[in-house]
Amino acid sequence: MTHSGDVFVEVGDRQDDIFVRAQRSLGALDGDRVVVEVSGRRVPYGRKREGRIVEILERSDRTFVGILHTVGEHAWVLMQSKSMPYDIEVPLLQAQEMGAERGMKVAARVERWNRGDDSPKGRLTDVLGFPGGNDAEMHAILAEYGLPYRFEKEVEDAADAISAKISRRELGGRKDFRDALTFTIDPSDAKDFDDAVSFRRLDGGNVEVGVHIADVSFYVRPGDPVDREARNRGTSVYLVDRTVPMLPEKLCNRLCSLREGEDKLTFSVVFEMTPDAAVVRSWLGRTVIRSDRRLDYGSAQAVIKNGRSVSPEIDDALRSLNAMAERLRKARLKGGAINFSKPEMKVEVDGMGKPLRVYRKESVEANWLIEEFMLLANRTVAKYIAVKGGRPSVYRIHPEPDQAKLQSLKKFAKGYGYILKTGRDTPGSLNAMLAKSKGRPEHEALETLALKAMAKASYSTDNIGHYGLAFEYYTHFTSPIRRYPDIMVHRILSSCLEGGEKMSRGVLEGECRYASEREIVATEAERTSIKYKMVEFMRDKVGGEFYGVVCGVTDWGVFVRIEPTMIEGMIPRAYCPRKILRLGRRVRVRVRAANLDLRQLDFELVE
């Protein structure tokens, strides 16, 4: 639903959604399941067909965030959402009992909207605080996407009851890697460590590389309160200033986290490899490890590239693993993997959540080292379950790109002198085009259009492969502390190794769809928090001028990303001069407004 009340309805596998004007929407709201009747008409400015909603099958249980307003004996939640144009009437007594005051940000859920009612009727679900407060705004984002920001007491109590002791019997049934050189490499501010890598040289010149993953499935059993909550959440959520974990702290930061100097239960994929990164053989199973050192990416990079030293053994391991990872990466790209290098922009905040700077997070060799061995472990597990296990599983799939969008990209690229081949040659041609355009004004537009042409990766029992990685078999196995599908894969692998019962494909497919939906919600919430903090960062820069690049063109305006922060804003159509502003065009803009309520920046063109 748009701010004007117009509606777009997604229907099954139809490529184009159906446009419904506000007066024909029957009071449907964002997220509702409806029956829509499609007319023969098309929207004047696009390809979409028009329709009308004839029945509301199910009201969405999503929450809407707004400002509490009271008049006499009545109370409303005044909406600030782009997808909710109607204020929600709520019981005044309930608001008072919850401690909500006029002017506070609150979350509400619609319960009914009968014909003849001036506005939808609902109830408050949470009181978030006064606008502008960091906690209030971050909780508002979580509430907007229906994400929790605390664990219920039942879940916390269940987690607290899990024993930290590891029995001799349990240790006896696992392969012991505590004598192997083992370390973790993570961001400097990480608290939960999903994965560790072990390294030792073998007689004859080969090396043994172990990828050791926290054995969350040992502690979290199917159907228990912690498991139900983890499944419902689906994933940890990473806002700018906080992490909303999938698992309670006792598990994610203590019991399961592969902390330095502590015996930990793990699920491992262990490879014997030649120095040039060829896999001779692999082994999968339950293990016990003890991490010798906790490294961050900066310290690992200093060893790999700058000649710094942690210890002779770790230095040797890092440099050897890096050389092998480089070979794995080159082989993957040669095999058809697509090399997107779009930088990740991060917002640094102080203890109160105030944004201090926006900076580019660059991936370096230390990141690629971990990435390549995690990819190797994931594909090895996926293939083992499919080929040797012969049972339904959870795959991470990525379909082929949209051909119409690829043709549009091809036409756009040709205007800048780049030749993009389609068909089997697309990955190599795309990589070459992105490499050749790097550092040029059109690069970002080319990469953005290329990303938009790609299908979305998701979870499925139907293994169609992963187009972007060029893998026939791929799954998610290496992050069970923060992703529920990884826990499912651990359980499936355990069943394969121990001869357990196969899981129902139908049940698994339903879980895959749900996990994919939760991933999308978490990603949108994370992006929204970044957008909010970027707009907040720009508030004291209204009137300032910046260079930027046109990254989007619509009927209502032109989007520009400014340098060097890559913060995006829009030049509204009313402020667009009669000039040709094409994607990739470098421009100079002035910041007109920074609207925190709408998380929106308005620019005007200077030159």
Both tokens of 591, joined, read: 């910041």
In SS3 terms, 446-498 reads as HHHHHHHHCCCCEEECCCCCECCCCECCCCCCCCCCCEHHHHHHHHHHHHHHH
Q: In this predicted structure, what is the pLDDT of residue 494?
A: 96
CA nearest neighbour of 274 among 329, 334, 313, 327: 327
CA nearest neighbour of 64 among 40, 26, 32, 42: 32
Would you say residue 552 has pLDDT above 90? no
Burial of 206 from C-beta contacts in 10 A (0-12 / 13-18 / 19+): middle
Confidence of residue 218 (pLDDT cuts 50, 70, 90): very high
Would you say residue 45 has pLDDT above 60? no
Q: How many Cα atoms sit within 13 Å of 388 on the Cβ side?
A: 16
> Average pLDDT in the 446-464 region?
94
Both tokens of 65, joined, read: 């965030």
Angle between helices 153-160 and 225-233 (to 10 degrees): 120
CA nearest neighbour of 440 among 560, 566, 549: 549
409 and 437 Cβ atoms separated by less than 8 Å = no
Per DSSP bridges, beta strands 175-176 and 279-290 are parallel
Give CA–CA dist 550/571, Å, rounded. 10
The C-alpha angle 76, 80, 82, rounded to 5 degrees, equals: 130
Core vs surface per residue 310-320: b (16+ CB within 10 A) or e: beeebeebbbb
Give CA–CA dist 116/113, Å, rounded. 9
List pLDDT tens digits, range 500-539: 889 999 999 999 999 999 999 999 999 999 999 999 999 9
C-beta neighbour count of 279 within 10 angstroms:
13
- Three-state DSSP at 125 gives strand
DSSP 246-303: SS-HIIIIIISS--BTSEEEEEEEEEEE-TT--EEEEEEEEEEEEBSEEEEHHHHHHH
Confidence of residue 442 (pLDDT cuts 50, 70, 90): confident
Give CA–CA dist 62/576, Å, rounded. 36
List pLDDT tens digits, range 561-602: 999 999 999 999 888 777 778 888 899 999 999 999 889 999
571 and 562 Cβ atoms separated by less than 8 Å = no
User: Does a cis peptide bond (omega within 30 degrees of 0) precede residue 392?
Assistant: no
The amino acid sitting at 36 is V
Q: How many Cα atoms sit within 13 Å of 288 on the Cβ side?
A: 16
Beta bridge partners of residue 52, listed in sequence order:
37
Q: 114's torsion region: left (phi>0), alpha (psi -120 to 50) or beta? A: beta
Give CA–CA dist 107/119, Å, rounded. 16
Percent of the chain at pLDDT > 90 equals 80
Judged by average pLDDT, the poorest of 130-134, 442-446, 542-546 is 442-446
Both tokens of 246, joined, read: 């999938």
Confidence of residue 174 (pLDDT cuts 50, 70, 90): very high
CA 265, 269, 275, 281 torsion: positive or negative?
positive
Q: In this predicted structure, what is the pLDDT of residue 2?
A: 87
Cβ-based neighbours of 21, under 8 Å, separated by 6 or more: 6, 7, 50
Give CA–CA dist 28/22, Å, rounded. 9
The amino acid sitting at 216 is V
Helical (H) or strand (E) element with 407: helix 403-414
- Residue length of the chain: 607
Judged by average pLDDT, the poorest of 90-94, 138-142, 436-440 is 436-440
Sheet holding 293-296, edge to edge: 175-176, 279-290, 263-273, 207-214, 195-201, 181-186, 293-296
The C-alpha angle 257, 477, 503, rounded to 5 degrees, equals: 120
Helical (H) or strand (E) element with 396: strand 395-397
Cβ-based neighbours of 23, under 8 Å, separated by 6 or more: none
Confidence of residue 344 (pLDDT cuts 50, 70, 90): confident
Cβ-based neighbours of 306, under 8 Å, separated by 6 or more: none
- Three-state DSSP at 180 gives coil
> Average pLDDT in the 165-179 region?
94
List pLDDT tens digits, range 457-499: 999 999 999 999 999 999 999 999 999 999 999 999 999 999 8
> Average pLDDT in the 57-86 region?
90
Angle between helices 403-414 and 443-453 (to 10 degrees): 170
DSSP 46-102: SSPEEEEEEEEEE-----EEEEEEEETTEEEEEE--TT--S-EEE-HHHHHHTT--T
More confident call, 408 vs 374 = 374
The C-alpha angle 84, 86, 91, rounded to 5 degrees, equals: 115
CA nearest neighbour of 464 among 517, 410, 388, 386: 386
Average pLDDT, rounded, for the chain: 93
Of 164-168, 299-303, 337-341, 553-557, which has the strongest mean pLDDT?
299-303
